[in-house]
Structure 1
């Protein structure tokens, strides 16, 4: 550990908050996608004065958010270099990895061989086995599950295998054991998925609700990340929200669970009150899980405005030698066709109370520029991918 320009870096991923189609969007079927832009239009204008002051509309004008005459943050946008538009790919790239082979997705359900192996290993039948909304499939198959004890298996446009079961029918520990077996089976190259997710629920037919006992069984990142380098060098790496699951615990010194966006902000504020040297890394997933995939632009817009109110509290906790980085991991345009993520640029807002002014940053060609900047700040091994913009920050202090 050496002399750091910023003692603490607080990195917040606003999950799925994209800011316009990437140049390669057509390859992914995402022409015209613009998560923030379309939400602004659907809302008749977004009221986000705090993000606005940082320079959000200076990146790409969003209806309702004024372009800042004197933005307080460095602002820009980043293009994803990896082949994919899922959570793991985006987050792994942020921390210095380049994913050149996409994870497997199963738009027609999982291979029968995998399903039969899973049934044999767990002693239960599988129902579902198709892409579905997590709430819709409970309405469709929840009662059958309760009557038969069969597990509900489903997927999405993401490389995930999700297993839903009622906590009153299959105890939570057994649900986790089933997911561990599914994870073992999907480590085979022919079935490789990014994550197996336990999706426990409670309630009665017609009124099912998913509980906070979700658990993700991720892959270990394919290489060392900036977080590994930081933890090995003695820095704290505090993961808030689903970050620990995304990186399978790699390079993380402390993990803080959350149940919602606002709980995530509460947990971040508590971490910010502590004295530490290193990184806090927060994921706020509700934008994606509750509103993007469900194609709910108004709910999404309200959640963004709710975060913007709390951003004032976050800014108030920043110390002179703190750095705040706001970004996203992909898009999820709630007016786009289907229910999948969208291939978009993501916003980049970088702020410190020590900045004398903000300004525009050159476009970043990979999310890994964030990881490279963090690595240079803490004097640890630089990632293979990414270009640090720490020098731009030094000019503003």
Structure 2
């Protein structure tokens, strides 16, 4: 995890994204087939109430009605909700919007697989055949095509309801570097109108009936089309660091990131930055809610990940300095109680913690970009992107 050149500010901000942890359908959910989705609400209800005392203390029970979480009278932080404004409901779209960039059209998706001519071009450029080219989940796709891949060496190509071009390969059949090179080739081929949000390397190991994806996943995002919060901070010399897949989502522009295998490792990396970081921004993503539990409709697992984060929150808060702001939010929903395993078009929670935070309601923000604008103002740069800062609401004099 690296930082940019030192800026003049000693202030710090943390944007902590709980990937997929939405809090209720967005007003335009019907346009996405997501009417009724409510990730946090449904998980809490399905568990018969889900006590999360530390998030409760910050005001989570005031964000939305949640079984087992009280609407405390005197929260320790500021709270609110944010609405998605960009077209789409994937991680790239959500993180870009947080950083000030709104998209007018969604990234393309391929419910019937990718066009044959595009697949043929990819196969010719990489020197391997292609099997699959279907919509599927990461574990089922290996059951369906893993044996044939091991026998032939052909790429397993698949997609989902998201705008992704996913390439799976067994690490003992295809060297990792070759898989990564193939993803870079695909990224270069996938231009408009096939400008998918992400190309994803999906390496795996194991044998028939016991396939396992490894931690060597890599995401190759399309580059943001406009200036982001990260670009503005870099230009101003303000340090930036990442935890999780954040750098991949911005095509490596504006920061580098420490990639982690699980939420627990990510939490430790966030805590390490809080203990040692000199100033600037930490942009972190905890992905297990989404990849391990939301996409697999695993309600108990999702609830367990929420408990794990809640239990770690006092440790993170204990290392906040006088001039630190911690923003806890999400990038979209992924309701594990619905029949679909896809992302959901949802509002996201917004909690703000720090010694200088004035407890209170920051409203239902019209766009995720308001968060990026607030961070920019806190760190002393003029950039506001497509958002409006709410800093004056949350920071006391």
Range of TM-score over shorter length = over 0.9
Q: Report the CA distance between 1:382 and its aligned residue.
A: 2.0
Taking structure 1 as the reference length, the TM-score comes to 0.96
Secondary structure at 1:363 match in 2: strand
Give the counterpart of 1:245 among 245, 248, 255. Answer: 248
Q: Report the CA distance between 1:29 and its aligned residue.
A: 0.7
CA contact (8 A) 2:240 2:282 kept: yes
Matches within 5 A, 1:293-304: 293-304=295-306
1:325: which partner in 2? 327
Superposed CA RMSD: 1.3
Q: Report the CA distance between 1:49 and its aligned residue.
A: 0.4
Taking structure 2 as the reference length, the TM-score comes to 0.96
| Distance in 2 separating the partners of 1:214 and 1:358 | 40
The answer to whether the aligner puts 1:180 opposite 2:184 as a matched pair is yes
1:373: which partner in 2? 374
Task: Go from structure 1 to structure 2 and tell me whether the alpha carbon gap of 1:275 and 1:89 turns closer, same or farther (over 3 Å shift).
Answer: closer
Secondary structure at 2:276 match in 1: coil
Give the counterpart of 1:21 among 21, 25, 35. Answer: 25
Q: Report the CA distance between 1:61 and its aligned residue.
A: 1.4
Cα deviation digits, residues 319-376 of structure 1 (max 9, x gap): 1111000000000111123211111100000111233x51111210000001111111
- Unaligned segments of structure 1, at least 5 residues: none
2:3: which partner in 1? none
Q: Report the CA distance between 1:135 and its aligned residue.
A: 0.7
| Distance in 2 separating the partners of 1:236 and 1:159 | 31
| Distance in 2 separating the partners of 1:32 and 1:185 | 37
Matches within 5 A, 1:10-49: 10-49=14-53
| Distance in 1 separating the partners of 2:63 and 2:178 | 48
Matches within 5 A, 1:250-261: 250-252=253-255, 254-261=256-263
CA contact (8 A) 1:15 1:330 kept: yes
Matches within 5 A, 1:65-144: 65-144=69-148
| Distance in 2 separating the partners of 1:30 and 1:321 | 39
- Unaligned segments of structure 2, at least 5 residues: 1-5
Q: Report the CA distance between 1:3 and its aligned residue.
A: 7.5
CA contact (8 A) 1:97 1:383 kept: no
1:279: which partner in 2? 281
Q: Report the CA distance between 1:2 and its aligned residue.
A: 8.4
Give the counterpart of 1:344 among 335, 341, 346. Answer: 346
| Distance in 2 separating the partners of 1:373 and 1:354 | 14
| Distance in 1 separating the partners of 2:179 and 2:201 | 7
1:157: which partner in 2? 161
| Distance in 2 separating the partners of 1:2 and 1:283 | 24
Cα deviation digits, residues 256-311 of structure 1 (max 9, x gap): 12111110001111111114110001000110001111111111011111110011
